[in-house]
């Protein structure tokens, strides 16, 4: 059985030391194996202190990069500062004992612009140049970068598994792979199972989210095809529920969360966990 995790953004944004310390035992008591932390701003939470909290609660860790305004590996004026931010993400996940930094590690969420083939190729070249030293740095620290394609309303650059794999193939780094998210795939992929199989052993992370960006399970996503696809490629990494509390002014607008997606945030997490335990019970076992 794959480990199952949940992102702290289900309850809080930004995560802080106090919020994480209170949340970790609750998440563990619900039955989760892993807690994913967004790093909205370095310094929001202390990696050394949170490593103690995670260890005390027996939780694994991953870090999700928050690619907000000013973080862009395709903009020459912002590459250096964005690289510094991603290096910080790598450092903090290593301090937590985790090994994955995930997210749309290319441009700010919400940045869209029209590109012809030449402009897209030039943008891709700049991204490769920006990511190459980061993949090397991640590898040196035992961390893997999982690059996430987003839906067309959040980016005009990398929307599909195929587009993202073009970047990964060119990077040709053992530390660079893909994060697939069922919410985004539901919009952009004609066949989510086929997208999973296309990524294959470069699938480093997986977000299991409902079609409404709430709990997985009570939605129209074809989970009965996704679980076998993950099994077929031998994916044994975590399945993480990524949803968001509407009760903040930062991540909720970026993710277009304008209403509660469950009766309570705890119910969202618990219902999603129960579904994933049933649906993916044999996912990591060989076919």
Per-residue model confidence as pLDDT tens digits over 233-261:
999 999 999 988 777 666 767 777 766 76
pLDDT at site 256: 72
pLDDT digits (tens, 9 = 90+) for 198-244: 999 999 999 999 998 889 998 999 999 999 999 999 999 999 999 88
Rounded mean pLDDT of 4-22?
Answer: 96
Q: Is 188 a catalytic residue?
A: no
> Model's pTM, two decimal places?
0.95
Catalytic pick among 148, 154, 188, 189? 148
The 10s digit of each residue's pLDDT in 44-57 is 999 999 999 999 99
HSE-CB of 60 using CA atoms within 13 angstroms: 17
In Å, what is the CA distance from 203 to each residue of 218, 228, 252? 25, 14, 27
The 8-class DSSP code of residue 209 comes to -
Catalytic residue among 36, 40, 188, 242: 242
Identify whether 140 is a catalytic site residue.
no
User: Under CATH, which architecture does the 4-279 domain have?
Assistant: Alpha-Beta Barrel (3.20)
Place of tokens 């005390």: 56
């Amino acid at each position: 059985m794959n480990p199952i995790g949940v992102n702290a953004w289900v309850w809080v944004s930004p995560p802080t030391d106090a919020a994480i310390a209170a949340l970790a035992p609750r998440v563990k008591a619900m039955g989760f194996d892993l807690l994913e932390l967004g790093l909205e701003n370095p310094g929001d939470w202390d990696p050394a202190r949170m490593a103690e909290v995670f260890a005390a609660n027996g939780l694994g860790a991953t870090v999700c990069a928050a690619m907000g305004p000013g973080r862009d590996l395709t903009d020459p004026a912002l590459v250096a500062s964005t690289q510094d931010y991603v290096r910080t993400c790598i450092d903090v996940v290593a301090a937590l004992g985790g090994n994955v930094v995930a997210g749309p590690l290319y441009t700010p969420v919400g940045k869209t612009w029209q590109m012809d083939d030449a402009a897209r190729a030039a943008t891709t070249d700049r991204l490769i140049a920006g990511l190459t030293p980061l993949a090397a740095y991640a590898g040196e620290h035992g961390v893997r970068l999982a690059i996430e394609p987003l839906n067309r309303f959040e980016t005009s650059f990398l929307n599909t598994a195929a587009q993202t794999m073009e970047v990964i193939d060119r990077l040709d780094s053992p530390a660079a792979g893909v994060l697939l998210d069922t919410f985004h795939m539901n919009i952009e992929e004609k066949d989510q199972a086929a997208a999973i199989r296309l990524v294959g052993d470069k699938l480093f992370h997986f977000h299991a989210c409902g079609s409404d960006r709430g709990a997985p399970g009570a939605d129209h996503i074809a989970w009965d095809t996704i679980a076998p696809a993950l099994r077929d490629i031998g994916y044994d990494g975590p399945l993480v529920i990524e949803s968001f509390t509407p009760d903040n002014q930062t991540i909720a607008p970026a993710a277009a969360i304008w209403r509660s997606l469950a009766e309570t945030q705890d119910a969202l997490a618990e219902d999603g966990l129960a579904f994933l335990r049933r649906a993916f019970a044999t996912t990591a076992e060989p076919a």
